[in-house]
Amino acid sequence: LHYAVLLACLFAMASSDGWVTEMHPDKFAGRTCLDGLRGRSMALRGGDSDEEEFGPERLIQELKDINLYRTTDGFTLESKPQFSLRTADQDEGVDYGAHGFMFNILAHGDIVITGIQICAADGGPFDYVIYTCPQPWEHVFQDEKKWTTCGSGFRVNLPDHAHGEYGPLPLADEGVKISAGQTRAFYIHSKNEDTAIGYRLLGDSSIFDGPFIDRKDKNVTERDANILIMTGTTFNDPIAFKKAQVDDLYRGFLGIIEYELDT
């Protein structure tokens, strides 16, 4: 039943000129396309699970992440491309940890942050909360009212920095949108230990020849075609937004930012 509903919705929306985004004459067509729709429908339902798990609300949410393309004799589905930007690793054997780390991400185009991965300096598991604010952290790092929670409620056992690996933090299913040209702040905090969040110590204001300082912009630690990851600061208190380390030291996010283009 739900497969029929999915199929009907997709073809109904495909007939609208505003919904079909692009012509692809070389894409899959005919029976291949129908098999793809059937497979996607089963995946959304969770394989052989009960159909009740795949209701109308979930259908609508899943369709937001699907691109439907018209072909010569049918239609094909494509998921949105996923991107990730991994930071350069800190020197081997050097670990820096804190209760909290706050940093900025600048977007060149409209994007959605879909995942954040970090490591702990040592120990675990820890409880993590992620906050976000639609402006640079330097303006609001002590004003908790300007921030909203975008991930919480999970106890996570992350890899420590000695392994050079990262693990995912709990992030809201809808992700966090960043508009083109916008700089948005993120704040990761753990109440448990001051080793819960690993970060990189990049140098002070008089040292700009380290391996992690971008030559074009000293406040940028990593970049790709779509986003810039910028320097941040640490917090050394179990209570969020307390005891920010504001000095002349440059500190960098350590981990992976996952995102997709918001088109």
pLDDT in tens, 167-223: 999 899 999 999 999 999 999 999 999 999 999 887 765 444 444 455 557 788 899
Distances in whole angstroms, Cα of residue 52 to Cα of each of 2, 10, 173: 9, 20, 20
In the predicted model, is pLDDT for residue 143 greater than 70? yes
- The C-alpha torsion from 96 through 97 and 102 to 104, rounded to 10°, is 40
Please state, in angstroms and rounded to a whole number, the distance separating the CA atoms of residues 112 and 258. Answer: 9
Residue identified by tokens 């010569």 is: 72
Q: Are 242 and 99 in contact (CB under 8 A)?
A: no
Question: pLDDT for 36-84, tens place per residue?
Answer: 444 444 444 444 444 445 566 665 555 555 554 444 455 555 667 899 9
Element (H, E) at 76: strand 75-79
125 upstream amide cis, omega within 30 of 0: yes
Long-range contacts of 207-215 (CB under 8 A, 24+ apart): 211/88, 212/87, 212/88, 212/252, 213/250
In the predicted model, is pLDDT for residue 103 greater than 90? yes
In the predicted model, is pLDDT for residue 166 greater than 70? yes
Neighbours of 196 (CB within 10 A): 28
Neighbours of 1 (CB within 10 A): 7
Neighbours of 52 (CB within 10 A): 8
Contacts of 26 (CB under 8 A, 6+ apart): none
Question: pLDDT for 225-241, tens place per residue?
Answer: 999 999 999 999 999 99
Please state, in angstroms and rounded to a whole number, the distance separating the CA atoms of residues 220 and 215. Answer: 9
